[in-house]
Every structure is written in C-alpha cells, then in structure tokens.
Amino acid sequence: MSPPPEATPIWRYIRLDEFTCPSPSAKETMRKGVSGFWDKFRRRTEPEEPIITQDELKRLSDKLYAQTAPEPDWTKPVAALNEALEEGLATRISRVHILVGAPFSGIAEVLVNWAERRGIKVIQPPEPGVILNQHQEWLQCLRNEGSTRSLAIPHLERYYLRHHHGLKLIRQLLPWLLNRPGYCVLCCSSWAWAYLSKALQVDKLFPAPWTLEALNQERLQQWFAHLSTRQGKEIFLFRQLDNGAFVIPPLDDMPFAEKTMRKRAAKATPHPEVSAFLTDLAAYSRGNPGIAWTLWRQSLQMAPEKENGTDTQDQTPNGDESTYGHTIWVKPWSQLPLPNLPEAADRNTLQILHTLLLHERLPTSLFIELLPFSFFEARQILIQLERCGLVISAQDEWQLTPLGYPTVRQALQAEGYLVDSL
C-alpha cells in the first residue's frame, strides 16, 4: 500500500477552455457502451456476489456521516483562487475577472469566502421583480457604492431572466463594471454563462473565465481521505462491498493497515485490488465536487456491531478496539441508486428543467412568466419531478438536486438543448 499522492493539489483554477472531464474506468466504459446512457446500462448489470450482504449493512448514523464525509469546507480552495487572481490583483491590468462554475461546484461559496477575507464588498442580487419591471433604483444604488471600490458578485445568474424584459438590467450592469476603475470578480453559473454568451456575447466582452479544475480519481481520493480525518479522532477504512477492494487505500503507517496485511498473508488471501469506484465517480460527476461528495455519502454503509461488542466481518480488521478503526463499506458503482426522469417526461418537462438550470432556482410563479404554461401545469410537472428526486423546493423556490443534476444534464444534452461546457 502506498501513501496518497500528496504532491498534487486538490484545488486548482484553470481557464474555462482548458476544462476536461475525467474518464471512466475501462470496465465502466465497456458497460456503458459508446452511445448508451449510463442508467440504461446500470440496470442491465448483474451484481457480483458480495463478501458481505446488503442485509448485514445499515445506514451510517448522522454522527458517523459527520466523521467520515462531513460537509465540504469551501474556505479550503480560497488559496487556489487567490493564486489564480493574483496577477490581476497585483497589476490591475484587468479590472473584471470572471469565474464560471457548474451547479453544486461550490465556486460561488469560495468567492464569498475569498472576498470576506480581503474585505471586498459582496453584492447581493436584485429581486426578480426588479429585473422584470426594469427598475433603475437597484443599479443606481450599486453605482452609489463608488466606482473605485472592489466588488465581488457571486451569482451573476440571478441578474437576468430569460424573458423579453429580463435582460435590460444585465445589459446596463456589465458595461458599467467594465468601464469603472474598481476591481471586480464576477461568478456565474455555467448554464447562465452559456446562455448569456449566446444571447449577449458576454464571452467576447471579458478575459477568459476561470473555473475549478475537475476532481479526478486522484484528487477525490485525497479530498475524501482528508475529510474523513478532519476531526482527527478515528481512522476509517473504505472498502467496496462486493469484493473488499480498498476504495481509499490506507496509509502504510496506519496502525491496523499493517495488521490487516499480516492477517491476509497468514491466510494466503490475495491482496485486494484498489477499486475503480472513484474513477467512475469522477467521470459521472464530471469532476464536480458537490455532486461527487453527495454520491460518496450515498454509497457509504456499515455493518452493525454484534451483541458481544465485536464487529462483523473485518469491521475492525485487526480486532483491536483500541484503534478506534472502522470499516466503511462502499456500494459498488453499478448498484448506486440514482434518480431517473419520469417515464411520462415530455418536452414541457425538459423545458422546465432547462429553465431551472439557466436561473439556478425559481419560484413557481416565475415559471409562468418565463414559459407558456399555466400555474397548475407547471406545478404538476414540478411535483412529479420532486417525487422522482430530481428537484427540491425550499422557501418557495425550486432547484435541482445534486443527485438529479447528472441525469438531467444528460437528458437535455441528448435532446439538443443548450448545455454548459462543464
């Protein structure tokens, strides 16, 4: 077992046109085929005989989730963002920098953390009514902030609506930002950026945008390992349910890793291979941190302790309770439950999903402003999508779920809708 490759930084910003998606494993590529959908092939695969059965496993407790896969800390990529923006900050050659991020990538949250550390004013978006009614007061208030003050705008996708009255504010905002002497960093959803590039050619107004480099298998391995040891109290082994392969290889100096090796050698047990789970997770999530982290949590399970206090089947591989070690079992990639589009999904359903992605989140009342649907029709479709786990409603606003996003993106791309580049 070798230590994880620490030399590769987890977080790195690159030019948008340099972005590439991680590739799936050879096994998954064969299963997926050249033109099929992931989910179609997932259902055709017969699961392998597991070394521990599903009946023997249980969901992680909230406490154990918080230990093994806690919420991402979006302050961590701030140093990488600062490095990417360093040239502009030092030289002031370019006054406006653009960040583009896919939904759930965390890139807007990183910008807010970066701005707060530097004491830069973070601008909140206008209400949709201000955009539709083309009120000038909001923009005047922003102008009153002063033309030299540095600004950060984390959600440019909330400054327009795809409506014949919905582009006036952003048409006035962007030239003002370009012509003022103050420094500004704009962050925009990758879907809104694709739309605004087509509708307003914003990609020709600004320098090349930056984005987070995709998290490949190597970076996901580092990130998840760091998350599981963040609290520093316990050590966990992550092994695949069907064959016992390590999903995250343990470090050589991990106390029970050495004992596990000795036990397997004594029993002439072949050394388990490293699972391709993270390779396929990186490819399916397109290296998106938020999507990958959500799927990772979905995959984790554990065996319950026996009544005599010992664990089942290598739960603590060395049998030494003093190590506080736990084996977390990871579902095979082909067995992960993922949401699918409803069978009755039609063009209206896809239009609602596409509109939702262009604006990140919307109340039901705005769908009827942006689409030729009645309130009841829009509401019925949204409820159906919610039952499928593709969208969620919170505080009267709808948005996609992290688990549903890859499915929706694939469906929209297959039907020829304008999609993002991330």
Residue 318 pLDDT exceeds 60: no
- What Cα–Cα distance (Å) separates residue 240 from each residue in 23, 66, 136, 246, 261? 20, 20, 57, 6, 17
Instruction: Give residue 408's pLDDT band: very low, low, confident or very high (50, 70, 90).
Output: very high
- What Cα–Cα distance (Å) separates residue 24 from each residue in 192, 276, 279, 297, 417? 27, 9, 6, 20, 24
422 compared with 252, residue with greater pLDDT = 422
Q: How far is residue 184's CA from residue 120's CA, in Å, rounded to a whole number?
A: 9
What pLDDT was estimated at residue 106?
A: 97
Q: What is the percent of the chain where pLDDT is above 90?
A: 59
21 compared with 344, residue with greater pLDDT = 21
The pLDDT tens digits of the residues spanning 56-92 come to 777 888 888 998 999 999 999 999 999 988 866 666 6
Please tell me what DSSP assigns to residue 90: H
Please tell me what DSSP assigns to residue 24: P
What pLDDT was estimated at residue 273?
A: 76
Query: Crossing angle for the helix pair 289-299 and 277-285, nearest 10 degrees?
Result: 140
The pLDDT tens digits of the residues spanning 211-230 come to 999 999 999 999 999 998 87
Q: What's the sign of the alpha-carbon dihedral 62, 68, 71, 73?
A: positive
Q: How far is residue 227's CA from residue 229's CA, in Å, rounded to a whole number?
A: 6
The pLDDT tens digits of the residues spanning 170-195 come to 999 999 999 988 889 999 999 999 99
With residues binned 3-state (H G I as helix, E B as strand, rest as coil), the percentages for the chain, rounded to 5, are 45, 10, 45
Structural domain boundaries in the chain: 22-28+46-71+216-304+323-335, 94-206, 347-415
37 compared with 392, residue with greater pLDDT = 392
Residue 311 pLDDT exceeds 50: no
- The alpha carbon of 287 is separated from its chain's Cα centroid by a whole number of angstroms, namely 8
Confirm or reject CATH 1.10.4030 for domain 94-206, answering yes or no: no
What pLDDT was estimated at residue 302?
A: 83
**Which pTM was predicted?**
0.86
What pLDDT was estimated at residue 322?
A: 41
Most confident of 132-136, 259-263, 271-275, 385-389: 385-389
* In 155-272, alpha helices (H): 168-179, 190-199, 217-228, 255-266
Phi, psi of 252 (to 5 degrees): -60, -30
Q: Which fold has domain 347-415?
A: Arc Repressor Mutant, subunit A (1.10.10)
Q: Tokens at residue 203, please?
A: 């990609």
Task: Report DSSP letters for 242-254, one per residue.
Answer: TT--EEEPPPTT-
389 compared with 305, residue with greater pLDDT = 389
The pLDDT tens digits of the residues spanning 24-43 come to 877 767 766 644 555 544 44
270 compared with 347, residue with greater pLDDT = 347
Over range 140-144, report the average pLDDT: 89
CB atoms under 10 Å from CB of 62, counted, come to 8
Instruction: Give residue 291's pLDDT band: very low, low, confident or very high (50, 70, 90).
Output: very high
Q: How far is residue 294's CA from residue 10's CA, in Å, rounded to a whole number?
A: 18
The lowest-confidence range among 49-53, 95-99, 293-297, 362-366 is 49-53
Q: How far is residue 356's CA from residue 391's CA, in Å, rounded to a whole number?
A: 9
What pLDDT was estimated at residue 312?
A: 44
For the chain, the residue count is: 422
Radius of gyration of the chain (CA): 24
Q: What's the sign of the alpha-carbon dihedral 64, 244, 288, 378?
A: negative
What pLDDT was estimated at residue 182?
A: 87
Q: Tokens at residue 229, please?
A: 């040891």
* Amino acid identity at 365: S
What pLDDT was estimated at residue 230?
A: 74
Strand pairing category for 326-330 and 236-240: parallel
Q: What is the percent of the chain where pLDDT is above 70?
A: 79
